[in-house]
Amino acid sequence: MRVISTAPIAGQKPGTSGLRKKTRTFMEQRYLENFIQSTLDVVREDCGGSLAGKRLVVGGDGRYFNREAIQTILQIAAGNGVGRVWIAQGGILSTPAMSCVIRARGAVGGIVLSASHNPGGIDADFGVKYNASNGGPAPEEITDRIYRRTTEITEYRVVEGSVNIDQLGSSKLGDTEVVVFDPLDDYAALMQQIFDFPKLRKFLAGGFRMCFDAMNGVTGPFAKHIFLDLLGAPAGSVIRATPLEDFGGEHPDPNLTYAAELVAKLASDDAPDFGAACDGDGDRNLILGRKCFVSPGDSLAVIAELAPAAIPAYHPGLAGVARSMPTSMAADRVAASLGIPCFETPTGWKFFGSLLDAGKITICGEESFGTGSNHVREKDGLWAVLAWLSILAHTGKSVDQVLRDHWTKFGRSYYQRYDYEGVSAEGANAMFADLRGKLGSLAGTPLAGSKISHADDFSYTDPVNGATAANQGTRIFLENGSRVILRLSGTGTEGATLRMYFESYSKDDIAQDAEAKIRPLAAAVCALLDLEARLGRKAPDVIT
């Protein structure tokens, strides 16, 4: 074991989902080392002072620097006397599979190497996230301590050496046992416990056509194993299934902008019945029908409505549901009709963890293409795809019909999110400061044919452990029931990214185009904020 001196590096504060920075920043001397040593210092503290006998899982989404980072983490884990480190073969482990493996193998936690849907490569993004023993992203109480530790660090400990991460089996680094395992096993077994695989197999054999796009990310091998090997879908049903270090030079972000190839396929005359995609690390999902897009808020609501009938694991019914604050309120209406609670949390999956652990919710989701349940403590892209397949198999309806039936019963939340990426942080902060200054006086202001009823900053108190989080997004409510939310991204790596979320509810008028429905509201809010002058942007970079 070698002790190497180091000094604090500024800015190692985890955001919405771990520490995300430019890859070159992570490659700087001691950058990754400092963060990992700080993380393990906090984990050791929570383990009563020693990591001996403790088990840690390590894996990532396969992006550039994944393999090198794994070797560094191994050396530091061994230097800190971790009992055993499980490494996914080839370093490839989706975020939900990480959560599954931590839980299934009783690990103390896991280190996820991913910048999710952000591009990969030496000039793109990298990220590191610590997940705790429940399988979920560490809560802020832990990430705050990790951050504090990075500001005080003076040394890190390593055992030098390396391990062949492509070869299954067990070896030693110092006193640490290193086990390279097949990442598909635990995850596929869990999916088979939740869903009726024989029924899905029959459904796919009956002429139903699907196309799953892994976007050159981590889900490729998992999707091939589940959809092709276990469910018998024909070979062409899974595309872009080899994890690439740069995701083929694209954004592995499953939305209408970045999954354009799949969207075009589903809009063609020879479209399959169902299309789906996941992001780089496999926690997000996009659901498409023929010429039909399922907005994530609707997807959450439909799954909450139909999972108890369509999916064996949820036959006993749901304890409750939860959604992040900016996510559309469609799920609230389903919860009300089921007579179960609906919780509203800040953005980021870490806020669902305590509710899931306490058994208060069964299904939860975010507008950012994230859906999941109590089976793991991360959002789970392939789980959502299997949930939709189960719903289609159970109802015998098309995606489009499932949506229409849902809206007929509950009404429709028209929804869109505008992203302004890489704007000046100064300009964005000034705009927020101004808006905050006048929140109290906005009531009564006319806006897009209605009036502002009230406006505030969202604060959250966790109903299980009392933890609080303030300033989680500025909300503007209209008298006609519409909502607008503004917040700054906590996952970006350049300048600031402004997100604006628009929601407009109709009970009966359910067949309009979402874009057309939202446009006047969006235009009015941009004018209210003087957005073009302040940020120098005429239009958002991405609309989802």
Contact 113, 217 (CB under 8 A): no
What gap in Å lies between CA 111 and CA 132, rounded to an integer? 9
Largest CA distance in the chain: 69
> What's the burial of 176, exposed, middle or buried (CB within 10 Å: 0-12/13-18/19+)?
buried
Candidate residues 34, 39, 94, 116; the one interacting with ligand VG1 per rule CB under 6 A: 116
**Residue 382 CB, nearest approach to ligand VG1 (Å):** 13
Q: Which of residues 195-234 bind ligand VG1 (CB under 6 A)?
A: none
In one letter, which amino acid is 45? Answer: E
User: Buried b vs exposed e over 86-123: b needs ≥16 C-beta within 10 Å?
Assistant: bbbbbbbbbbbbbbbbbbbeebbbbbbbbbbbbbbbee
Kindly write out the interface string for residues 269-308 of this chain, putting x where it contacts ligand VG1 by CB under 6 A and - elsewhere: ----------x---xx------------------------
> What's the burial of 3, exposed, middle or buried (CB within 10 Å: 0-12/13-18/19+)?
exposed
- C-alpha distance across the termini of the chain, in Å: 50
Q: Is 514 strand, coil or helix? A: helix
> What's the burial of 306, exposed, middle or buried (CB within 10 Å: 0-12/13-18/19+)?
buried
What gap in Å lies between CA 55 and CA 101, rounded to an integer? 11
What gap in Å lies between CA 355 and CA 374, rounded to an integer? 9
348 part of the interface to ligand VG1, by CB under 6 A: yes
Q: Which stretch binds Co ion (CB under 5 A): 72-80, 113-121, 348-356, 445-453?
A: 113-121
Kindly write out the interface string for residues 492-521 of this chain, putting x where it contacts ligand VG1 by CB under 6 A and - elsewhere: -------x----------------------
* Crossing angle between the packed helical segments 31-46 and 66-79, to the nearest 10 degrees: 50
What gap in Å lies between CA 525 and CA 228, rounded to an integer? 47
| Those residues with Cβ within 8 angstroms of residue 83's Cβ, 6 or more apart along the chain or in another chain | 51, 52, 53, 54, 55, 176, 177
Residue of 38, 116, 133, 328 with catalytic role? 116
Q: Which is nearer to ligand VG1, 176 or 493 (CB)?
A: 493
125 binds, among Co ion, ligand VG1, none (CB under 5 to 8 A by kind): none
Question: Strand order in 210-213's β-sheet?
Answer: 238-239, 210-213, 274-278, 285-289, 292-294
Q: Which is nearer to ligand VG1, 75 or 489 (CB)?
A: 489
Candidate residues 80, 176, 371, 491; the one interacting with ligand VG1 per rule CB under 6 A: 491
**Residue 237 CB, nearest approach to Co ion (Å):** 22
Q: Which is nearer to Co ion, 281 or 503 (CB)?
A: 281
**Residue 150 CB, nearest approach to ligand VG1 (Å):** 20
Q: Which is nearer to ligand VG1, 442 or 485 (CB)?
A: 485
Q: Which is nearer to ligand VG1, 135 or 174 (CB)?
A: 135
Structure tokens at 19: 């520490």
34 part of the interface to ligand VG1, by CB under 6 A: no
CB atoms within 10 A of CB 162: 12
Q: Which stretch binds Co ion (CB under 5 A): 116-124, 285-293, 358-366, 527-535?
A: 116-124
The H or E element that residue 171 is part of is: strand 169-173
Q: Which stretch binds ligand VG1 (CB under 6 A): 96-104, 155-163, 384-392, 483-491?
A: 483-491
Candidate residues 283, 367, 419, 462; the one interacting with Co ion per rule CB under 5 A: 283
What gap in Å lies between CA 4 and CA 455, rounded to an integer? 52
**Residue 84 CB, nearest approach to ligand VG1 (Å):** 26
Q: Which of residues 358-397 bind ligand VG1 (CB under 6 A)?
A: 366, 368, 370
499 binds, among ligand VG1, Co ion, none (CB under 5 to 8 A by kind): ligand VG1
332 part of the interface to Co ion, by CB under 5 A: no
279 part of the interface to Co ion, by CB under 5 A: yes
By DSSP bridging, strand 55-60 and strand 109-113 are: parallel
75 part of the interface to ligand VG1, by CB under 6 A: no
299 is catalytic: no
34 part of the interface to Co ion, by CB under 5 A: no
Q: Which of residues 502-531 bind Co ion (CB under 5 A)?
A: none
Q: Which is nearer to ligand VG1, 272 or 348 (CB)?
A: 348
349 part of the interface to ligand VG1, by CB under 6 A: yes
Count of chain residues binding Co ion (CB under 5 A): 5
**Residue 24 CB, nearest approach to Co ion (Å):** 21
Q: Which is nearer to Co ion, 140 or 283 (CB)?
A: 283
What gap in Å lies between CA 12 and CA 26, rounded to an integer? 10
* Residue ranges binding ligand VG1 (CB under 6 A): 16-17, 116-117, 279, 283-284, 324, 347-349, 366, 368, 370, 489-491, 499
Catalogue the active-site residues: 116
* Residue ranges binding Co ion (CB under 5 A): 116, 279, 281, 283-284
